[in-house]
Amino acid sequence: MVSSALNSNNEGVNEIFEKAVRDLAAGRTEVALPGFSTCIEADFRLRDCLVFMVACAYLAGDRGGASELADWARKSGKASDEFYSLLGRVINALGPNTGDDVWRFLQKNRCLPWNSVGSTVGSAAQKSVEPWFFAQQKINRFPKNQSDFGDLARLVMDYVLPGHLPNRPLFTRTSTVLTMGSCFAQELRNYMASQGMRSDWLFVPPGLNNTFAARQFLEWCATGKQSADAYWYDEATGGGARKWQPETEHKNYRAVLQGIDGLVLTVGLAEVWYDIRSGGVFWRGVPRSIYDPSIHKCRMSKVSENVENLVRSIEVARELRPGLPIILTLSPIPLRATFDDRSCISADAVSKSTLRVAIEEVMGLGLPGVSYWPSFEIVRWLGSHTDRALFGDDGNTRHVNRFAVQLILDQFLAHYFESDSPDRMWHDVASKC
């Protein structure tokens, strides 16, 4: 009787429908649901009502009911011409967090009327549109809420480390791991020693923070001969440049590399100084005593060059120690200055991007036993979203804060080294953040 009366009074049903939409937009799901049910009984805007009922059930916390209604919505007919306009009003009224949640649920469950996507007013030119292939695939998302950035240890675990961790720890507390490159390598070396773990006892020049220098050093360790493009100048302790000379014989360096259990190779700079006559790249910069502006130039190295250097470094290290586990990292420390016309900030962005893409291409080769540790992403990518600054607590704007360094190193040791008490290690990490 009610259904018959409503069918004979389309205007009355439309008023019920519009009120239900307003109630849904206001979050009054307990009032909106009966309204949409009444419209369905009258066979009025069936697809629209079912989808809105899915939203009501979802907002009310009835996930099972929402999924069941979504099945019905997918099987129903076409939506009205005004559907997306109405849905947009509802989503906007619910707010950015709640509204986005509802929208994602509707998309994930494929209950949106894809036949009318792209049109809010109806058109003869409407085309059938399918949901994206990945609509129901497992995906990794960027943190959605600002509150997610409050617990840095959990944030790193959930949003940075997935896809980068070994299936099992690679080292024990007695393993010897050689660290090469910029600050992360030095910090790791010192921290391992402070934890009573073995680290390298071989002096590695601290200036090996571009891939050219790292490759040249490893090739010398393997062969005893300098590369054709070797320009081995490092930074002296008190500042300035000095020619690097090995502190012990080549055979001792070779012996150490043959006995290590792992290698952490950190790179930090893509901008390099070179000799235009030979193309030779300097480790760090050009000493004043030999600098000639007509032949010594600064340039941004190419992704392909860095890929080649990294692959060669891996090959040489494994010629000395077959099957050696190798972990690549990118230093988060920014450029101190650039000789390019663009700003240092922009040059740093290009430099880090060049190296990160190069590392990604190396990882894409699928070389066994080669992994990447995302210390760069922890500091530079997440750091811009946290309330706590990750640089400059010692007065130097380029230095990573101690608590961030501690977090990175604790996480690294927790995942790459076997521990007698993994839970204790995790609690130690969390308590420091």
Tell me: the pLDDT tens digits for 300-319? 999 999 999 999 999 999 99
- 254 and 361 fall within a common domain: yes
| Residue with more model confidence, 296 or 199 | 296
- 105 and 66 fall within a common domain: yes
- Asked if the structure places residue 423 within a domain, the reply is no
**How many domains would you assign to the chain?**
2
CA angle, 408 as apex, 407 and 410 as ends, to 5°?
65
pLDDT at 302: 96
pLDDT greater than 80 at residue 433 = no
pLDDT greater than 60 at residue 230 = no
pLDDT greater than 50 at residue 428 = no
- Asked if the structure places residue 113 within a domain, the reply is yes
- 177 and 263 fall within a common domain: yes
* The domain boundary residue, chosen from 320, 341, 373: 373
pLDDT at 248: 57
- 271 and 326 fall within a common domain: yes
Range of lowest pLDDT (82-86, 214-218, 428-432): 428-432
- Asked if the structure places residue 395 within a domain, the reply is no
Mean pLDDT of the chain: 79
- Asked if the structure places residue 265 within a domain, the reply is yes
pLDDT greater than 80 at residue 344 = yes
- 125 and 185 fall within a common domain: no
Q: Are the CB atoms for 301 and 274 separated by under 8 Å? A: no
Q: Tell me phi and psi for residue 306, to 5 degrees.
A: -70, -35
- Asked if the structure places residue 231 within a domain, the reply is yes
pLDDT at 123: 41
3 pLDDT band, cuts 50/70/90, is very low
Cβ neighbours of 312 (radius 10 Å): 17
Range of lowest pLDDT (88-92, 93-97, 429-433): 429-433
118 pLDDT band, cuts 50/70/90, is very low
Angstrom CA distances, 273 to 209, 287, 360, stand at: 13, 11, 24
For the residues 227-241, what does the mean pLDDT come to?
51
- 187 and 111 fall within a common domain: no
What percentage of the chain has pLDDT greater than the value 90? 27
- 212 and 125 fall within a common domain: no
**Residue 327: which of 227, 256, 416 has the closest Cα?**
416
- 169 and 129 fall within a common domain: no
- 198 and 128 fall within a common domain: no
- Asked if the structure places residue 380 within a domain, the reply is no
pLDDT at 9: 55
| Residue with more model confidence, 103 or 243 | 103
pLDDT at 115: 46
Query: pLDDT by residue (tens digit) across 241-289?
Result: 455 555 556 788 888 889 999 999 999 899 988 888 888 887 766 777 7
204 pLDDT band, cuts 50/70/90, is low
Contacts of 335 (CB under 8 A, 6+ apart): 269, 271, 344, 347, 348, 351
**Residue 376: which of 326, 330, 310 has the closest Cα?**
330
Query: pLDDT by residue (tens digit) across 119-144?
Result: 444 444 334 444 555 545 567 888 88
pLDDT at 20: 93
* The domain boundary residue, chosen from 373, 390, 414: 373
pLDDT at 284: 67
Query: pLDDT by residue (tens digit) across 402-425?
Result: 888 888 888 998 899 987 544 333
- 55 and 125 fall within a common domain: yes
183 pLDDT band, cuts 50/70/90, is low
- 318 and 354 fall within a common domain: yes
Kindly report the CATH number assigned to the domain that includes residue 15.
Answer: 1.25.40
pLDDT at 126: 38
pLDDT greater than 70 at residue 114 = no
- Angle of the 29-41 helix axis to the 46-59 helix axis, nearest 10: 160
Q: What's the domain range around 175?
A: 165-373
Cβ neighbours of 65 (radius 10 Å): 16
Range of lowest pLDDT (86-90, 221-225, 234-238, 249-253): 234-238
Kindly report the CATH number assigned to the domain that includes residue 256.
Answer: 3.40.50
pLDDT greater than 90 at residue 349 = yes
- Asked if the structure places residue 193 within a domain, the reply is yes
- Asked if the structure places residue 388 within a domain, the reply is no
Q: Are the CB atoms for 211 and 195 separated by under 8 Å? A: no
- 25 and 101 fall within a common domain: yes
Query: pLDDT by residue (tens digit) across 34-66?
Result: 999 999 888 888 888 999 999 999 999 998 889
pLDDT greater than 90 at residue 362 = yes
* The domain boundary residue, chosen from 348, 373, 398: 373
pLDDT at 209: 79
